[in-house]
């Protein structure tokens, strides 16, 4: 008799791996199928966790829950996987104009910003900081490549493409493998999943990034202007990113490269050389909230998707909530529950 796996997980990006770790924490046996794909979203992601979003200095949805404890969460994973891939950091949001400065001043007294933001008038050589800087705390950087590599080396993984022709839901079998549950974490490739593709509207949202060589200092900080500048190593900085909704073509484009360069020139006052240009496809949802839950007909078939541009900050707590739902029947929050689509 073949062994029964508690949870087959299809997709080994950030969502699939955090789902696997959460289920293992609760005692479940797991196997991830991942056909690694060089421009999968999780591989190219900048890996930033930033509690402050948008033009109007908005503290993101459930920010206290997502950000309190985020550093401890990733540091625990580093111990468990015996690797270094997370760094807490302060993001330095460049205030772009007198108008933006006024928006910030009208909001600065609100209690929700306490612990997240403070203003600094100090100039930063090389950047246009005439209107000041907002220091954004409780953020961090996940080196997604190192995180996924550590998962691959330490967690049960099958590197092949999951073949729907081998899936028999009536017998809970995948080929010769028996399972209790199957959880799909396929990113935008869910569009090819015959069980979910007609039920969901996951919007592929292509993002492009460039890397440049420049003398900007101090190294180690993240600057958020018209584009973000993320220090990588030596003189190398990553700059991003673009958003093209509905685009799942796998190649970077001249148009978006030029868009990034125009925005970079508004932020950086130093000479630079362009050295890399690449892209990935984010899995976004139509209402910009993640999608978690169970198939309407197959009660042991589930899905985690729609992390958009925020999996690094959202997925740790949401995969924990999903594992409690799967193992202890704890209800999911209605705003992320897949049932909102039917």
Residue 121: exposure state from Cβ atoms within 10 A (0-12, 13-18, ≥19): exposed
Q: Which of residues 160-179 bind ligand FAD (CB under 6 A)?
A: 161-162
Q: Which is nearer to ligand FAD, 245 or 269 (CB)?
A: 245
Give the CA-trace dihedral at 336, 340, 341, 342, to 10 degrees.
Answer: 150
Residue 218: asked if its preceding bond is cis (omega within 30°), the reply is yes
| Cβ proximity to ligand FAD, 36 vs 105, nearer residue | 36
Q: Which is nearer to ligand FAD, 110 or 159 (CB)?
A: 159
User: Of 295, 299, 290, 257, which is closest to residue 276 (Cα–Cα)?
Assistant: 257
Q: How far is the CB of 340 from ligand FAD (least distance, A)?
A: 18
From 33, 57, 116, 196, residue interacting with ligand FAD (rule: CB under 6 A): 33
* CB atoms inside a 10 Å sphere around CB 166: 11
14/77 with CB nearer ligand FAD: 14
Helices (H), the chain: 14-25, 41-44, 63-67, 70-81, 98-107, 144-154, 254-267, 311-328
From 310, 326, 336, 338, residue interacting with ligand FAD (rule: CB under 6 A): 310
**95/189 with CB nearer ligand FAD:** 189
- Name the residue nearer to ligand FAD (CB basis): 40 or 172: 40
Query: Which parts of 86-145 interact with ligand FAD (CB under 6 A)?
Result: none
**Cis peptide leading into 241, omega within 30 of 0?**
yes
Q: In this chain, which of 24, 25, 37, 248 binds ligand FAD, going by CB under 6 A?
A: 37
In this complex, which beta carbon is closest to ligand FAD, that of residue 100 or of residue 186?
186
**C-alpha distance across the termini of the chain, in Å:** 39
- 253 in contact with ligand FAD (CB under 6 A): no
Instruction: Kindly state the tokens that stand for 227.
Output: 């584009």
Among 70, 134, 150, 185, binds ligand FAD (CB under 6 A): 185
- Decide: is 34 part of the binding site for ligand FAD (CB under 6 A): yes
Query: Given the complex with ligand FAD, which of 105 and 286 has the nearer CB atom?
Result: 286
What is the torsional sign of CA 302, 284, 256, 234? negative
Which sign does the torsion angle of CA 265, 268, 270, 275 carry?
A: negative
Encoded tokens for 52 = 């402050």
Strands of the chain (E only): list them. Answer: 4-10, 30-33, 48-49, 52-53, 58-59, 86-94, 117-120, 133-142, 157-158, 167-168, 173-174, 177-184, 202-214, 222-224, 228-233, 236-240, 244-245, 272-285, 291-294, 301-305
State the Cα torsion 25-31-37-43 to the nearest 10°: 10
List, in sequence order, every residue forming a beta bridge with 91; answer none if it has no partner: 136, 222
What is the size of the binding site for ligand FAD (CB under 6 A)?
41
Length of the chain: 342
12 touches ligand FAD by CB under 6 A:
yes
The 254-273 contact track toward ligand FAD, x by CB under 6 A, reads --------------------
Stretch touching ligand FAD by CB under 6 A, among 87-95, 293-301, 309-317, 334-342: 309-317
Is the separation of the CB atoms in 204 and 57 below 8 Å? Answer: no
**Min. distance of Cβ 28 from ligand FAD in angstroms?**
18
Select from 170-178, 185-193, 252-260, 318-326 the region that touches ligand FAD (CB under 6 A): 185-193
Q: Does 36 bind ligand FAD (CB under 6 A)?
A: yes
Among 240, 252, 293, 316, binds ligand FAD (CB under 6 A): 240
Asked if 151 interacts with ligand FAD (CB under 6 A), we say no
Provide the binding-site residues for ligand FAD, judged by CB under 6 A.
Answer: 10-16, 33-37, 40-42, 44-48, 161-162, 185-187, 189, 207, 209, 240-241, 280, 282-283, 305, 307-313
């Amino acid at each position: 008799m073949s062994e029964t796996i508690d949870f087959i997980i299809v997709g080994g990006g950030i969502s699939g791996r955090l789902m696997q770790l959460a289920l293992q924490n609760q005692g479940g046996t797991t196997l991830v199928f991942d056909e690694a794909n060089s421009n999968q979203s999780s591989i190219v992601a900048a890996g930033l966790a930033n509690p402050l979003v948008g033009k109007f200095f908005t503290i993101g949805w459930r920010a206290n829950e997502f950000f309190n404890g985020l550093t401890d969460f990733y540091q625990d994973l580093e111990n468990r996987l015996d690797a270094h891939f997370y760094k807490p950091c302060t993001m330095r949001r460049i205030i772009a104009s007198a108008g933006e400065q006024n928006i910030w001043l009208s909001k600065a007294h609100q209690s929700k910003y306490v612990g997240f933001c403070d203003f600094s008038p100090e100039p930063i050589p090389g950047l246009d900081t005439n209107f000041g800087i907002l220091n954004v705390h409780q953020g961090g950087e996940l080196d997604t490549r190192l995180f996924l590599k550590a998962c691959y080396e330490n967690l049960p993984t099958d590197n092949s493409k999951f073949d729907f022709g081998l899936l028999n839901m009536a017998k809970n079998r995948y080929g010769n493998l028996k399972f209790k549950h199957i959880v799909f974490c396929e990113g935008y490739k869910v569009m090819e999943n015959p069980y979910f593709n007609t039920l969901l509207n996951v919007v592929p949202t292509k993002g492009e990034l460039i890397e440049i060589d420049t003398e900007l200092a101090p190294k180690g900080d993240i600057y958020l202007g018209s584009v973000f500048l993320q220090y990588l190593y030596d003189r190398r900085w990553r700059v991003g990113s673009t958003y093209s909704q509905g685009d799942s073509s796998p190649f970077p484009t001249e148009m978006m490269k030029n868009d990034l360069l125009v925005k970079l020139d508004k932020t950086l006052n130093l000479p630079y050389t362009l050295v890399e240009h690449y892209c990935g496809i984010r899995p976004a949802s139509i209402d910009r909230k993640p999608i978690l839950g169970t198939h309407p007909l197959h009660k042991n078939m589930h899905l985690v998707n729609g992390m958009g541009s925020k999996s690094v900050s959202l997925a740790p707590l949401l995969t924990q909530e999903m594992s409690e739902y799967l193992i202890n029947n704890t209800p999911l929050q209605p705003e992320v529950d897949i049932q909102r689509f039917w």
